[in-house]
Amino acid sequence: MYDPLLKNQIDTNQDYPNSYWANNSGAAPASDGELEGDIESDVVIIGGGYTGLSCALHLAKEHGVKPLLLEANQTAWGCSGRNAGFILKSTGRKPWGTMVKDWGEEVMRGIYAEACAGVDTVNALIEQGIDCESQTPGYIRIAHKPSMFNALQKQADLLQRMFGYDVDVITRQQLQQDYVGDENAHGAIRFHDGYGINPLKLAWGYQQLAMKAGAKIHTHSPVIEWQQQQSKELLITPKARITADKVVLATNGYTPKGFHQAINNKTLPVLSQIIVTRALTEAELEQCNFLTSNVVMDTRALKYYYRKLPDNRILFGGRGAITGKGAENPYYADRLLSVLKQNFPDLSDLTYDYAWAGWICMALDDIPHINSAEDRSNVFYAAGYCGNGVSFSVQAGKRLAQMVAGETLPNLPLYQTQLKPFPMPALRRLGQWGYFHYGKFKDNYL
């Protein structure tokens, strides 16, 4: 599997992975095809995932700029078409309480408002006619051990106190009776406004809206060389040379090694693994009392997450291999199935029909960054969603469009600080391995 820490060029001419989404979403919408010739453009966007498509859409629709978007494979070929489809109010991994300690309450509230705006942006776009199989609203965060239920209750209290955000506190008995009979859940809190979608169909919907607004979407057009000129950027693809006034880098966890100094050595791509089971019978659903279609995530440092899909399959996800070379090893999918069966012992005969992995993108300080390059004011980037980018990446794309158009963004660390370089970047994978072992120990014993 393509490994962005090891390869200087992204793999091209690649089909979508053999995922549940790719096999159950129909045909991809038509794009403008591979770019050819010598081209001049005001704005070029590199990357056809949520961020790039949102930026293209908002530039064309709200700022009168008709951008040219370059995608190495097909739109949403990367994480945007591989994720679990959780729409949540989130911005990275940094807890709200930590934000208050680091930056103060005003900044924390500003970031919370951006997280809310991210969900509002997604909802507004879906309402324009995107059929992405939205499920019943609700996000359940379960305590994976009794001590974590107290922590969840404190979180619910903080959300109510700080934001007036009503969150249901659910005991273990209530959870198993009214939502899902997860044997390893020790109570939960439930948010009313998260929900599940088909992530690939969502991205395709953004693509269609962007093209309708006037953006050009060129698939199978990887940037194989990037030359900086005095005031412009020269981007070279296999069949085209593009001279651009401004460039937006929206490749996140799929950015090749050494692609641009704005983000070189400043992110850590991490594999997330997902399985989708065969369809459960009504009797099996009744055995484990799987009533809810809400999205579910636990409190582990190395989180597991799951949801019941519209056809009664279970999507179950967690961490994957450390390197791309190990991504196809069935050990990681089998491990997820084993954990799923521990949660639901009555499903001992369950098998999975789909297994795939994708790169999420970690930032050193656990928050995404949307900014211009330190030494090139005409180059912009967004990266570091830390596995929580389905909704916020769309908000990031909208903010990128405003930045490209010359507007001032809110005075928040998300938009006013650069990605921080990882110390000893050559050892990032070793650090990841160490964190995985620490996380496993913490989840079991601390």
What are the residue ranges spanned by the domains of the chain?
40-83+201-266+368-420
Mean pLDDT computed over 164-182: 96
- For the residues 68-97, what does the mean pLDDT come to? 96
| 217, pLDDT greater than 90 | yes
pLDDT digit string (tens) for 373-389?
Answer: 999 999 999 999 999 99
Mean pLDDT rounded to a whole number for the chain: 97
Burial class (CB in 10 A: 0-12, 13-18, 19+), 426: exposed
3-state secondary structure of 275: strand
pLDDT tens for 252-310 read: 999 999 999 999 999 999 999 999 999 999 999 999 999 999 999 999 999 999 999 99
Sheet strands (E) in 47-130: 68-70, 86-87
What class, spelled out in words, does domain 40-83+201-266+368-420 have in CATH?
alpha beta
Strands 376-383 and 369-373: antiparallel
pTM above 0.85, yes or no: yes
Q: What is the pLDDT of residue 55?
A: 98
Mean pLDDT of 197-211: 98
pLDDT, position 446: 84
Could you tell me if 239 and 39 are in contact, meaning their C-beta atoms sit under 8 angstroms apart? no
Is residue 151 classed as helix, strand or coil in its secondary structure? helix
**Given this model, what pLDDT does residue 166 score?**
87
Q: Which among 342, 408, 319 has a CA at the least distance from the CA of 371?
A: 408
Cβ–Cβ < 8 Å for 114, 416 = no
| Dist CA 53 CA 57 (whole Å) | 6
Give strand ranges (E) for 26-113.
37-46, 68-70, 86-87
